Structure 1
Amino acid sequence: MTATVLVPGMLCDADLWSGVELPDAVHAEITAPTITGMAEQVLAAVDGPFTLVGLSLGAIVGFEVVRLAPERVTALCAISTNAAAPTPEQRAGWRSMDERTASGGFEAVVRDDILPTMFAEPGHDDRFLGMARRVGPDTFRAQLAAQATRTDAFGVLASASCRVLTVCGSGDALCPVGFHRRIAEAVPDGRGRLRILPGAGHLLPIERPRVLAGLLNEWLNEH
């Protein structure tokens, strides 16, 4: 069976997926300071062809993996993400977070800037904060640097030969539904699909683990 490579979002580790049971799952780390470097980390995580499931920054890395090695990606699931190039406002925000983290403000950046955008429902803060602390400020700064190297991925999606599923929460404050609709529509020949989880926020594997696992397993079984 083809492996499923799980790629986490920024400040997340393998615990992100602990409630999402998928067959033959392999966890990839993204710690390089560029999107291309992260994509190379993912490609090195497993031999041969694989299905890639990425969340947020992990899905952005997934687009780059498809660009670098389209023959290896049999299917791509992009969760809670954005395929567009960064805006000036985003770049300014990342620079600010990097400067404050470098000055010892990692905990404040995580709590004040990032945590409020992660969930649509209460009760999950401690789990995210635990992941963020394990990832730590050095890797966080590398991930911020990588964000700044993002490019528009719609050309990659338009030429993709694999099936693409994009999944989002209707209450995602960071990556709204419209971002995901554009991703699904960019994939040719009807191979793009969109699923929206009502009331959910950004970190769907934590807020909706069973629902997400069900639709992913159904999608994988179609493959």
Structure 2
Amino acid sequence: MPNEDTAGPLPFVVVPGMLCDASLWRDVSFPEGHGVHHVPLRRADIGALADDVLAAVPGPFMLVGLSLGAIVGFEALRRAPGRIAGLCLMSTNAGAPRPEQYAAWRAMDELIAAGRFGEVVEQTLPDMFPDRCPTPEAAHRYRAMAHAVGADAARAQLAAQATRTDAAGTLRTARCPTVVLAGARDTLCPPGFHRAIADAVPGAGLTLLPGAGHLLPWQQPEAVTAALRDLVAATTGTTPEFATPATP
């Protein structure tokens, strides 16, 4: 979808995963001049979070989402398909929650309510990394980000997870350029989830990243940067310039 409705380059609206914030993207180079708008996940309903995404900018935009952020993106696409000019989806799952996921989210919420948020961070930590084996440095970085997000936002995110629905029907109606990224060693959202997404979206491209786990912007920032370049080219017909990564 070319940028016909705005005078300047299309902006990016960027949505992180659960227990992640804008620092997730600090190693990624976003194309210069497009504007980057980060949407935090602080509400307890996927629909409300999708409304936050749609309110981030006026007019059309390119949506970049990881994990829960991409799930929010599916709902934004359902609500306002004409607003979303391009999609970059990574480390995610378009299926409805499974019974064991509902049970796990309830258990995590109970721990947080009991003042044991740190235990939830430790439970989630291995799934963020290739083969569930983070380096000490990577584990430290994840703990710092998760604790910066905090217990209140984590409880809202757990509640939002439980309001998810199967997004396959919505994805089949998408008509915007779409790139899908998957970590070959992601145990939380394995490659098969992403093949299903790419198969559902007409014309979508799937890139499987060897050696990567769930947090692709940390583990493969160059590949994420390349995907953003490809998305800009597909939506505008231009080759973008890139900015130096900035620390949020």
TM-score band, normalised by the shorter chain?
A: over 0.9
Give the TM-score, by structure 2 length.
0.86
Conserved? CA contact 2:178–2:204, under 8 Å? yes
Q: TM-score, normalised by structure 1?
A: 0.96
> How far 1:30 moved relative to its partner?
1.6
After TM superposition, where is structure 1 displaced by more than 4 Å over at least 4 residues in a row? none
The C-alpha deviation readout for 1:56-97, integer Å capped at 9, x for no partner, is 000000000000111100011110000000000000000000
Matched, 1:38 2:49: yes
Aligned to 2:71: 60
The residue matched to 1:71 in structure 2 has which SS? coil
**Count of residue correspondences:** 220
Match of 1:3 in 2: 11
Q: What's the % identity of the aligned pairs?
A: 53
RMSD of aligned C-alpha atoms?
1.0
The equivalent residue for 2:211 is 199
Q: What are the Cα deviations for residues 89-141 of structure 1, in whole angstroms up to 9, with x where unaligned?
A: 00000000000111011001111x10010011523111111111111000000
Gaps of 5+ in 2: 1-8, 236-248
Q: Structure with the greater relative contact order (CA < 8 A, sep ≥ 6): 1 or 2?
A: 2
Query: Quick check: which has more Rg, 1 or 2?
Result: 2
Find the counterpart in structure 1 of residue 181 from structure 2.
Answer: 167
Distance (whole Å) between structure 2 residues aligned to residue 164 and residue 210 of structure 1: 18
The counterpart of 2:107, out of the listed 78, 96, 101, is 96
In the alignment, is the contact (CA less than 8 A) between 2:88 and 2:227 conserved in 1? no
Partner of 2:240: none
Deviates more, 1:204-213 or 1:93-102: 204-213
Aligned 8 A contact 1:30 1:42 in 2: no
- Hey, what does 1:217 align to over in structure 2? 229
Q: Name the structure with the higher helix share.
A: 1
Deviation at 1:220, TM superposition (A): 1.9
Distance 2:50 2:234 in 1: 26
Note the alpha carbon deviations across 1:18-66, whole angstroms, 9 max, x for none. Answer: 1111132211112110000100111111111000000000000000000
- 1:29·1:42 contact (CA, 8 Å) conserved in 2? no
Note the C-alpha offset of 1:202: 0.1
Q: In 2, distance between residues paired with 1:45 and 1:215?
A: 22
1:71-82 to 2 correspondences below 5 Å: 71-82=82-93
**Aligned-partner SS, 1:199:** coil
